[in-house]
Structures are given as C-alpha cells and as structure tokens.
C-alpha cells in the first residue's frame, strides 16, 4: 500500500522515520506534501527518500492511506481541497488534535457517499518506535481498515482502539506527555548539576532513570505507588526527596497539565468544527500556492466575516 501525508511537519517526519526504522513500509511508497517547502522537516523527509510535492492533490492520487498531519484549523481547508479527489480505496486518517470524525465525514460527504475516515492521536516518540497511539473508527471504515492502521502504528509503539470521546483526554496525557517528560529531565539535570554533576552525565542519568522506571511500570502488574514504595527505604534519601516534591504539590501540577491540554484540545475542536478557516489564519503566499494547483479556485466572496472555503471546479462538487 502507499501512504501519503498531507502536511510535512514534525508529525509527518516522526511517523516516516518510525515507519522506515520499523521496516513496515518502503520510503518510495510514501508521499508527503506541503505548500511550505521551507519547513526544516521537509529536508529531512526528502533525505529519507520520501516523494515530496507541493501538491496535496498529488499526494492523494499517489496514496491509499492518507494521514492528515496538519494543524487542526487547516483541516477544513485541506478537506475542501482534496475532497473531489478522494476515491473508494482511500482511508483518511486524521491526526489533528480535537478534530472530530463527524466533522471530517460531514465535509467529505459533499464529495462522495461513504468516506472511510479514522481518527488517531499519536505522539512524537514514534520516531524511536516508542510512540503511544490511540484511534477511533469512523462510520464507513471497515474492520480491515482498523487492522491496517493498527499494524502501521503498532510498528512504532503502543497502539489501541478507543471510543472517540476519549481522544481529547489521551491528547492531554500521552499526546502532550513527552513535553512534560522533556521538561522534567531538564529540571532533573539542573538538580544534578547543582549538586556537582557535569551536564551531559546529568541529562543521561535523568533520562535513563525515567526510561527504566517507565519500563518497570509497563512490565509490572504492580501499582505505581507500590513501585514507589519499593524504592523508598526507611529514613533514606528517596523518601526525603519525595516529601519535598509532595510539599510543592508536584502531583497536582501534572494533573493540571493533563487537564489543561485536554481542555485546550476541546477548544481547538470547536474552532475546527467551523467549516471555514479565517483568512487571518493562512498566509497569502500559501493560499496563492494552493490556488496554483489545477482545479482549485477560491469562492471567497466577503472574505472578512465568512472565512475561506476552497471551491473545486470538479463537476461532482456540490457546495451549499
């Protein structure tokens, strides 16, 4: 099968690196597109041997599975652009935080009756094949589509199906989770350096301790609290450290973080559920580049309040 990425940013780059390291698909079967060729990740993708293009329509025609790897507010714009080119074989997998299957199906149903849509939330450690991915299956996607996606995403980490209404919470937890971890290791390394360690060693020890602990938890049936207890010898150094963490409300900060990310995801969903994109949210140069693609014109009358929709001159298009 061929895999395509609409969007050539961090997520597309991380997924391609992971898939190729896993050997689950050959790079020449991967296409990625973006109107912005200056992105640093574009070079990386080219180096990996991916077919890169500025035309999203070209990605669609070259692919069977289509990952939508653009920012949430761009999704409606992209769907209008590629809608007419979707065929029966296409499986659309949206990776955009907060964008519902319902909103995608609604858009695509303007172009064909039974669009196969799935929604997933993954994270950047797919790049080292230790990602965390969940997915939900759309109305017209089949069991085989779920299996195919799970096979792809399972090659780069943990993958499981969930009810769609859990995906925003997953975004807050494992979608954003790596950023919490990077921040934590940075701080732990600062602690190590304060107490006399050289920086490189401090970072390595902090990251290794975190990796080891996470692996212990994944490999164990025990509660994290039990594992914590096992490390705290009576009167020892560790329980002293834990006390100062608890005194500062450490746990609460992490609950707050998961909540804040989830809440923001739901806000983004609201924005994405708008069927139009505010003209302020897209660069004129990007818009121009997209307009250069054959078959696309802008029905952008009264742009200021209404937002931009793409109007494709494909005869099958019906716009309300």
Toward a copy of itself, which CB reaches closer, 191 or 299? 191
Tell me how far, at minimum, the Cβ of 221 lies from a copy of itself, in Å.
10
305 is in an annotated binding site: no
Tell me how far, at minimum, the Cβ of 193 lies from a copy of itself, in Å.
9
Tell me how far, at minimum, the Cβ of 188 lies from a copy of itself, in Å.
5
Count of alpha carbons within 13 Å of 109, Cβ hemisphere only?
11
Toward a copy of itself, which CB reaches closer, 218 or 301? 218
Contact by Cβ (8 Å): 103, 94:
no
9 is in an annotated binding site: yes
Return the beta strands (E) in 21-75 as ranges: 30-33, 51-53, 65-68
Q: Identify which of 175, 126, 133 has the alpha carbon closest to the alpha carbon of residue 18.
A: 126
Only one residue has tokens 């399972």, namely 154
Sign for the CA dihedral angle at 105, 31, 133, 167 comes to negative
70 is in an annotated binding site: yes
What would the DSSP string read from start to end of 248-264? TTHHHHHHHHHHHHHHH
Tell me how far, at minimum, the Cβ of 289 lies from a copy of itself, in Å.
20
Contact by Cβ (8 Å): 118, 91:
yes
Toward a copy of itself, which CB reaches closer, 148 or 170? 170
Toward a copy of itself, which CB reaches closer, 64 or 150? 150
Calculate the CA 241 to chain-centre distance: 35
Toward a copy of itself, which CB reaches closer, 1 or 128? 128
Toward a copy of itself, which CB reaches closer, 251 or 319? 251
Tell me how far, at minimum, the Cβ of 51 lies from a copy of itself, in Å.
24
Q: Kindly report the backbone phi and psi dihedral angles of residue 90, in degrees, each rounded to the nearest multiple of 5, phi listed first.
A: -70, 135
Tell me how far, at minimum, the Cβ of 258 lies from a copy of itself, in Å.
3
d(CA 37, CA 9): 10
**DSSP type of residue 88:** T
Region at 82 (left for phi over 0; alpha for psi -120 to 50; beta for the rest): alpha
69 is in an annotated binding site: yes
71 is in an annotated binding site: yes
Tell me how far, at minimum, the Cβ of 133 lies from a copy of itself, in Å.
9
95 is in an annotated binding site: yes
d(CA 147, CA 151): 6
126 is in an annotated binding site: no
Region at 117 (left for phi over 0; alpha for psi -120 to 50; beta for the rest): beta
307 is in an annotated binding site: no
d(CA 253, CA 240): 20
Toward a copy of itself, which CB reaches closer, 123 or 309? 123
Tell me how far, at minimum, the Cβ of 19 lies from a copy of itself, in Å.
15
Toward a copy of itself, which CB reaches closer, 227 or 291? 227
| Nearest-5° Cα angle at 125, 205 to 100 | 140
Residues making up the binding site: 6-11, 34, 56, 69-72, 95-97
Annotated binding site for NADP(+): 6-11, 34, 69-72, 95-97
Query: Which residues are annotated binding-site positions for NADPH?
Result: 56
């Amino acid at each position: 099968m061929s895999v395509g990425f609409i969007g050539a940013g961090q997520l597309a780059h991380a997924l391609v690196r992971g898939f190729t390291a896993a050997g689950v698909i050959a790079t020449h079967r991967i296409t990625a597109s973006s109107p912005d060729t200056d992105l640093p990740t574009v070079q990386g993708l080219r180096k990996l041997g991916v077919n890169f293009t500025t035309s999203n329509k070209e990605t669609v025609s070259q692919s069977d599975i289509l990952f939508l790897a653009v920012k949430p507010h761009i999704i409606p714009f992209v769907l209008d652009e590629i809608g007419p080119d979707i065929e029966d074989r296409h499986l659309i997998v949206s990776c955009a935080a907060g964008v519902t299957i319902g909103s995608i199906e609604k858009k695509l149903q303007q172009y064909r009756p039974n669009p196969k849509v799935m929604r997933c939330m993954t994270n950047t450690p797919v790049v080292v094949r230790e990602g965390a991915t969940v997915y939900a299956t759309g109305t017209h996607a089949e069991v085989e589509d779920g299996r195919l996606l799970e096979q792809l995403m399972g090659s780069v980490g943990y993958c499981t199906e969930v009810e769609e209404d859990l995906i925003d919470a997953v975004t807050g937890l494992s979608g954003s989770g790596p950023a919490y971890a990077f921040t934590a290791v940075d701080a732990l390394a600062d602690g190590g350096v304060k107490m006399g360690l050289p920086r490189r060693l401090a970072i390595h020890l902090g990251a290794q301790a975190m990796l080891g602990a996470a692996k212990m938890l994944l490999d164990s049936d025990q509660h994290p609290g039990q594992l914590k207890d096992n490390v705290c010898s009576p009167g020892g150094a560790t329980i002293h450290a834990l006390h100062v963490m608890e005194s500062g409300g450490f746990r609460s900060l992490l609950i707050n973080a998961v909540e804040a990310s989830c809440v923001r995801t739901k806000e983004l969903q609201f924005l994405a559920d708008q069927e139009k994109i505010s003209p302020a949210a897209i660069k004129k140069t990007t818009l121009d580049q997209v307009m250069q693609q054959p078959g696309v014109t802008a029905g952008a009358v009264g742009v200021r309040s209404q937002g931009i929709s793409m109007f494709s001159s494909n005869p099958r298009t019906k716009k309300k």
